[in-house]
């Protein structure tokens, strides 16, 4: 998981969680540093999930290209190269560009050029571990490589990286982004880390060590990356947020906090879509197309 990875403890505990919790209790009893190291590796290591058939079909319709970065290549994809406006899609934790297949088809049908990337340590991109700032650097590299970007649609961790670090768009021209759409975005990075710690029942000393490490590495505390802190300050013309009332990963209350901190944000709650369904819902895609036109 990443510095703002996915999220909350699931309603059904995953297999093997009891043994994992025992492992961390034993490590912490021996050494806080040992327990921290193991927890941080887990927190920053996404699983590479098997590709579904519909993902392969989506990628087959795109042109694949690579963007070099100091930490390896980031793989990206382009649909409808002749589109008049460019939309960048940024996926979430343990997802990849192909997860945007339905969204990409909806946007290209509306005439947009669409770019999506496999974030660092995700999909076909290089690396096995990543953090929120590292993920954002991968997005930044693609944004710098593809030319003018008119809009961004970002989901979950991708939303946190894009708007929380934040990624800078159109740096060669206006330095601003016309439109931003956030889907199932976490409001607080500290809350994400706390949910991870609670899931594993990490001792407080280990949690504090994680917080110190983030401060040491980035010169700022984890909460400074939070959308409730950064959203309203972004150089964005118009912004929209979709969040489902039954999101199983990011509590709906965090979306309400983002909206409360960002007076100009167009907040659109959904019902029955969950954390990932909001990416593929026909009604949401129609609203996004209307917003981006």
The CA distance from 284 to 293, in Å, is 14
Looking at the domain assignment, is residue 52 inside a domain? no
Looking at the domain assignment, is residue 275 inside a domain? yes
In angstroms, how far is CA 212 from the centroid of its own chain?
Answer: 23
Looking at the domain assignment, is residue 200 inside a domain? no
pTM value?
0.93
DSSP 8-class letter at 12? S
Dihedral angle of Cα 15, 160, 24, 120, to the nearest 10 degrees: 80
Looking at the domain assignment, is residue 182 inside a domain? yes
Looking at the domain assignment, is residue 11 inside a domain? no
CATH code, domain carrying 84? 3.40.50.1820
Looking at the domain assignment, is residue 180 inside a domain? yes
DSSP-derived 3-state class of residue 270? strand
pLDDT value, residue 215: 92
pLDDT value, residue 14: 65
pLDDT value, residue 16: 86
Listed in sequence order, the residues at least 6 apart from 234 whose beta carbon sits closer than 8 Å to its beta carbon are: 163, 166, 177, 180
DSSP β-ladder status, 74-79 and 63-67: antiparallel
The CA distance from 212 to 223, in Å, is 12
Provide the residue range defining the domain that includes 257.
62-188+224-292
Q: How many domains does the chain have?
A: 1
Looking at the domain assignment, is residue 162 inside a domain? yes
Looking at the domain assignment, is residue 20 inside a domain? no
CB-based contact 203:27 (threshold 8 Å):
no
CB-based contact 214:222 (threshold 8 Å):
yes
Mean pLDDT in consecutive groups of 10 residues from the start of the chain, 293 residues: 37 73 94 96 94 91 96 97 97 97 97 98 97 97 97 98 97 96 96 93 94 91 92 97 96 97 97 97 98 96
- Rounded to whole angstroms, the maximal C-alpha distance in the chain is 60
Dihedral angle of Cα 168, 68, 213, 23, to the nearest 10 degrees: 130
């Amino acid at each position: 998981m990443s510095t703002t990875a996915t999220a909350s403890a699931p309603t059904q505990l995953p297999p093997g969680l009891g043994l994992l919790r025992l492992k961390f209790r034993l490590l912490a009893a021996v050494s806080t540093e040992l327990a921290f190291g193991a927890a941080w590796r887990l927190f920053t290591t996404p699983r590479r999930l098997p590709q579904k058939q519909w993902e392969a079909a989506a990628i087959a319709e795109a042109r694949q290209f690579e963007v070099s970065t100091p930490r390896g290549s980031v793989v990206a994809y382009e649909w409808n190269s002749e589109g008049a406006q460019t939309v960048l899609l940024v996926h979430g934790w343990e997802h990849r560009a192909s997860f945007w297949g339905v969204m990409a088809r909806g946007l290209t049908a509306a005439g947009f050029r669409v770019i999506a990337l496999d974030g660092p340590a995700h999909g076909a991109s290089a690396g096995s571990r990543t953090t929120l700032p590292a993920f954002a650097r991968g997005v930044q590299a693609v944004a710098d490589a593809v030319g003018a970007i008119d809009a961004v649609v970002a989901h979950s961790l991708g939303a946190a990286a894009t708007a929380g670090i934040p990624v800078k768009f159109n740096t060669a021209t206006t330095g601003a982004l016309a439109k931003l759409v956030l889907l199932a975005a976490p409001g607080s990075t500290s809350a994400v880390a706390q949910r991870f710690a609670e899931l594993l029942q990490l001792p407080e000393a280990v949690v504090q060590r994680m917080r110190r490490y983030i401060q040491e590495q980035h010169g700022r505390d984890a909460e400074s990356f939070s959308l409730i802190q950064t959203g309203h300050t972004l150089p964005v013309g118009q912004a929209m947020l979709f969040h489902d009332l039954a999101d199983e990963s990011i509590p709906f209350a965090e979306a309400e906090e983002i909206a409360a901190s960002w007076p100009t944000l167009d907040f659109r709650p959904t019902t029955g879509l969950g954390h990932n369904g909001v990416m593929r819902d026909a009604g949401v895609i129609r609203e996004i197309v209307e917003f981006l036109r």
